[in-house]
Amino acid sequence: MKRVMSRSYLVLLVALAFFTGFMFLTFRIATQSTDWIQQPYNGHMSATDGLSGAGNITDRNGVKLAYNDDSDKRCYNDDQSIREALLHVVGDSSLNISTAVQSMYRTQLTGYNFIFGLGMPKSIKTNNDVQLTIDANACKAAYDAMDGHKGACVIYNYKTGEVLVDVSNPTYDPADPPEITSDNEAEYDGVYLDNVVSSTFTPGSTFKIVTAACAIENIKDIDSRTFTCNGEYEVLGKNITCEDAHGDISFDEAFSHSCNCAFAQMAIELGEEKLKKTAEELGFNNKSFTMSGIPLAPSYYDAKGAGDNYLAWSGIGQYKDLANPMHMAMMCGSIANGGRATAPFIIRDDGDLLSKLNLKSNKGSDVNMLPSDVSERVAELMRHAGERYSYNGISLGGLDFCAKTGTAEIHEGEAPTGWFVGYCEDAEHPYAFAVVLVESDYGFSAAAPVAEAAIGVLVNGSE
């Protein structure tokens, strides 16, 4: 009897283990089959560049960006500038750009189903096309205006979250990809990164938006303060230098003229803890931001343990400060929205039932960044700066805009990194933007024209 009972227990144990394994496998198939199909060891996917039977990728206006021809070969837009401008958004057939739509959304594009695999009958296969929120012609205008400089341009609707422009350089033509070897790899360094979402850059004076917000929150008499600028400000025996000797200037004037001396004094008075607190309120050091499921490289601020000289430079946007372009556009959008940042997305809602029931979304969560009264005061500062830029020749499609330029000095003997960030004050064109160009020139002369070109197309259309 004992032998029978022992065998019964053993059979029961084996059956339980089998059932547990079966349920675990079923769960994995249901939840992770889309990941399995995309693995490089999948022979069928690798043999067809992973895009056999893939659907079309189009821009917001229906312009084809990628499609399969009659022989199932993956093809790209006829315009080389559009192809190169949107390489990092669309991707190429090598799937080396991990954040591109052809990599991130390959399962949807190929119509993979975990029951039928890639062999689902066409009669019951759902539409596997993907429409983007971006405007191909505006991206082309931005790319051409970047004039070969490494960097990024992003423009998004700060009311809806739709990303209209996402351009990164360096790039290449997906219809004629280069063979990267040890001899030319320096030329293509960083070519697989979308700088809009995956890179950070020294922000320069665009960080003064953060320092200004911190001053508004913590220095009660900031609006009645007068700062003296003689072109340099000595801190611990070292000079903080300014482009001009501004003389006695107000808080508003210090912002619109981007006075380093004034903002150095503010940074030292505020201290590292308060600056870091405001920076984090505005999204620095935040690793949770995404764009259609693509994680954003976190912007960075930390001046803990820095002496007053380095602390002063950190408040000006130098020292160890780093900023992600998409995040900077979100930050500016939050100021336009009374303190609330709308989460960006680049895949248009496909209108299916799950989307309508809010059970599926490629959009992250909106986030409150600043109290409304603080954001309104920062908006005033950026508006005055925008009026000054407009007076000096910058035009964003004829719209009123609030902005801040930045010029970051990276290495001695190298040209600076130029920035232009801000937003348009127009109900029909609520655009927040960020442009950064490495080794270019001042933000006003290098980065602002890129925003001009792209927003001009968004507002007035392409020629």
User: Does one domain contain both 123 and 264?
Assistant: no
For residue 17, is it within any domain? no
For residue 39, is it within any domain? no
What per-residue confidence (pLDDT) applies to 131? 93
User: Does one domain contain both 278 and 369?
Assistant: yes
Amino acid at 116: F
User: Does one domain contain both 68 and 161?
Assistant: no
What per-residue confidence (pLDDT) applies to 21? 72
Strand-pair category, 163-169 with 417-424: unpaired
User: Does one domain contain both 193 and 109?
Assistant: no
Strand-pair category, 74-76 with 64-68: antiparallel
Residue 66's domain comprises 51-132
SS3 call for 149: coil
SS3 call for 300: strand
User: Does one domain contain both 175 and 76?
Assistant: no
Last residue of a domain, one of 117, 132, 147: 132
User: Does one domain contain both 110 and 147?
Assistant: no
What does the chain come to in residues? Answer: 463
Which pTM value belongs to this model?
0.86
For residue 337, is it within any domain? yes
Last residue of a domain, one of 101, 132, 163: 132
For residue 123, is it within any domain? yes
Last residue of a domain, one of 132, 151, 169: 132
Q: Is the Cβ–Cβ distance between 261 and 227 less than 8 Å?
A: yes
What per-residue confidence (pLDDT) applies to 3? 61
Number of domains comprising the chain: 2
User: Does one domain contain both 126 and 177?
Assistant: no
User: Does one domain contain both 346 and 373?
Assistant: yes
For residue 12, is it within any domain? no
CA dist 307 → 213, 227, 301, 320 (Å): 22, 22, 15, 13
- In the chain the first and final C-alpha atoms are separated, in Å, by 91
pLDDT digits (tens, 9 = 90+) for 13-70: 777 877 777 777 666 555 555 444 444 434 344 434 567 778 899 999 999 999 999 9
For residue 37, is it within any domain? no
Q: Residue 268 maps to which CATH number?
A: 3.40.710.10
User: Does one domain contain both 265 and 178?
Assistant: yes
User: Does one domain contain both 297 and 354?
Assistant: yes
Cβ neighbours of residue 98 closer than 8 Å, sequence gap 6 or more: 104, 192
What per-residue confidence (pLDDT) applies to 68? 92
Helices (H), 48-118: 80-85, 87-90, 101-104, 106-110
User: Does one domain contain both 110 and 234?
Assistant: no
For residue 31, is it within any domain? no
For residue 290, is it within any domain? yes
Q: Residue 121 maps to which CATH number?
A: 3.90.1310.10
What per-residue confidence (pLDDT) applies to 50? 65
What per-residue confidence (pLDDT) applies to 108? 79
Residues in the chain with pLDDT values less than 50: 34-48, 113-120, 122-125, 353-359
What per-residue confidence (pLDDT) applies to 47? 37
User: Does one domain contain both 78 and 150?
Assistant: no
- Give the whole-angstrom CA distance, residue 98 versus residue 381: 39
What per-residue confidence (pLDDT) applies to 117? 47
What per-residue confidence (pLDDT) applies to 86? 98
